[in-house]
Structure 1
């Protein structure tokens, strides 16, 4: 039976009712919560009653937007461009979320200044309340946009087999926390949240490899075996966009594992890669996987071995796991779990 729709919202509602994914539904429900009845969108706007959009409609709209591009171009001469177009959609969510984050940071700075300069006047109290409301409104919008971006990124990963990664900057997301009580508590909570996003707490597994690699199944099996031993692991990679690191990031996206990307600081010149290795080592990884690549991988493997980190070495010619000859041999074993 055919069904017609007069607007996109009705179509999104229909799709939301017919399609369900418990994890996605839960993520959207957590990101679109309204903790305050009032909203304030900018420093000059008055507080107003404005609801968040329906999370189910938004979820359906994001999925349709991404999926339709792949569907309509599939098996046509334009199919090769679907990936680039879908990446642009996902990146647009990332770009807008970063812009809102900048507004949020400005509001938080203003809130901090107000909290440090107490004034018993009524105008001060109003200004403090309005600025805190602005922070909370912008935080909620940012987290909703991040949820939409993460969903678009997952559709992109499923369709292309590659993790979405923005050109610049880190990609982090979170769920909303309980509403804040006063300005100082709000700022402290926000600071803790941002520290956790960029410095997540948990056992770190270091990973690095060359840009030419064929056997992705081997790396997936190996990382699965490590995750079975370290369920709360965080993957720290050297952030290359091809080869081993790209395979590891695709695995992390599929398994829901947090990733820390250690990009090269080009300002450091020839020593940039070695400084990156030192920074990765400073996380005190509990385990590491090094796939044969260049001298950079050899340098990192040497430093990990000297630090006593349990180390897996994968050779390029054999592409099989070879535990390094160190004191951690007893802990490692072969990469045996299936993808």
Structure 2
């Protein structure tokens, strides 16, 4: 029988070795994994935890290894087509847990507010308030760290697949993310209420729509969007949020250029009217510019709307594509 000698090394040693061969830890990880807390209790009666936050370098490398190893193992095998879906699920797991911890932080905020409202000056109340504040700070720090890991996992996913990762529904907002993706419903509600800059970013809106089929010239689409950004450096990009074709190219461009993306998805409740209502909502943003690529009747309808509203517009035809781009 063959004897196999294995040398087991702790992950911190592996991380240090990889770090020497690769780029340094990003500033985002150093910022997200910093902590002002020496110890924290989570919940009543629990013992204080005096442990530190994870090492930012190890955290960054762990995230990268989780995603890239999956692609490496499945590449050139029968399971290669499954790699992207599995990796998407990994990023979504980070996203889901970060959302859960964010919700706990929101509840902790309300707890602190309640304690402040009923302050009686007693020592017991002061202790409870101090513990509640520590819990809130801990949850805020932890949520930032989890979001940072999610954002980096999304960046690795983008590098491996050439497509930006996007959440299955709702908004994905993070100052550290390559491109914030804001659901149109959140964006419109925030505009009405002016409740949160993260969900209601300020800036000139450029609306974009295009067909899902027969489009392959990414350089053409990116070039048109680069021209729009040159005219509107602080632009927000609103798209019709299709998963392929022109909209997918536009989403990848937004991620690359760090432009905030507003996604207008179809509402199933509106039936056949959904696409036309969506076009009206996009035009209702009072965009400074529109970019419409040839597609279906919905793109023709949007083109008519922007002309009626006298919105500066650029129209791109399928025939404008370069065949060498295939």
TM-score by length of 1: 0.79
Give the 5 Å matches for 1:270-289: 270-289=272-291
The Cα of 1:136 is off from its aligned counterpart by 2.0
Q: What count of residue pairs does the alignment treat as equivalent? A: 300
Which residue is 2:293 aligned to?
A: 291
For 2:45 and 2:293, the matched residues in 1 are separated by 54
Which residue is 2:84 aligned to?
A: 83
For 2:28 and 2:256, the matched residues in 1 are separated by 16
The Cα of 1:63 is off from its aligned counterpart by 0.8
**Superposition CA RMSD, Å:** 2.6
- C-alpha deviations, 1:70-108, integer Å up to 9, x for none? 122222222222212211211111111111122122222
Contact map agreement 1:211 1:244 (CA 8 A) in 2: yes
For 1:228 and 1:312, the matched residues in 2 are separated by 14
Which residue is 1:238 aligned to?
A: 240
Is the deviation greater in 79-88 or in 270-279? 270-279
Which residue is 2:315 aligned to?
A: 313
Q: Which residues of structure 1 form unaligned runs of 5+?
A: 176-191, 321-339
SS of the residue 2:292 aligns to: strand
Is the deviation greater in 119-128 or in 284-293? 119-128
Contact map agreement 2:194 2:200 (CA 8 A) in 1: no
Runs (4+) of structure 1 exceeding 6 A deviation are none
- C-alpha deviations, 1:134-188, integer Å up to 9, x for none? 222112111111111111111111111111112222211135xxxxxxxxxxxxx
Which residue is 1:123 aligned to?
A: 124
For 1:43 and 1:169, the matched residues in 2 are separated by 33
Which residue is 1:172 aligned to?
A: 173
Pair 236,312 (structure 1): closer, same or farther in 2 beyond 3 Å? same
For 1:43 and 1:263, the matched residues in 2 are separated by 43
For 1:297 and 1:105, the matched residues in 2 are separated by 40
Pair 50,246 (structure 1): closer, same or farther in 2 beyond 3 Å? same
Q: Do structure 1's residue 53 and structure 2's residue 54 form an aligned pair?
A: yes
SS of the residue 1:145 aligns to: helix
Pair 115,237 (structure 1): closer, same or farther in 2 beyond 3 Å? farther
SS of the residue 1:198 aligns to: coil
SS of the residue 1:50 aligns to: coil
TM-score by length of 2: 0.82
Pair 283,63 (structure 1): closer, same or farther in 2 beyond 3 Å? same
Which residue is 1:96 aligned to?
A: 97
Pair 13,222 (structure 1): closer, same or farther in 2 beyond 3 Å? same
Q: Which residues of structure 2 form unaligned runs of 5+?
A: 1-5, 177-192
Q: Do structure 1's residue 64 and structure 2's residue 65 form an aligned pair?
A: yes
Pick the aligned partner of 2:250 from 226, 248, 251: 248
Pick the aligned partner of 2:17 from 14, 26, 39: 14
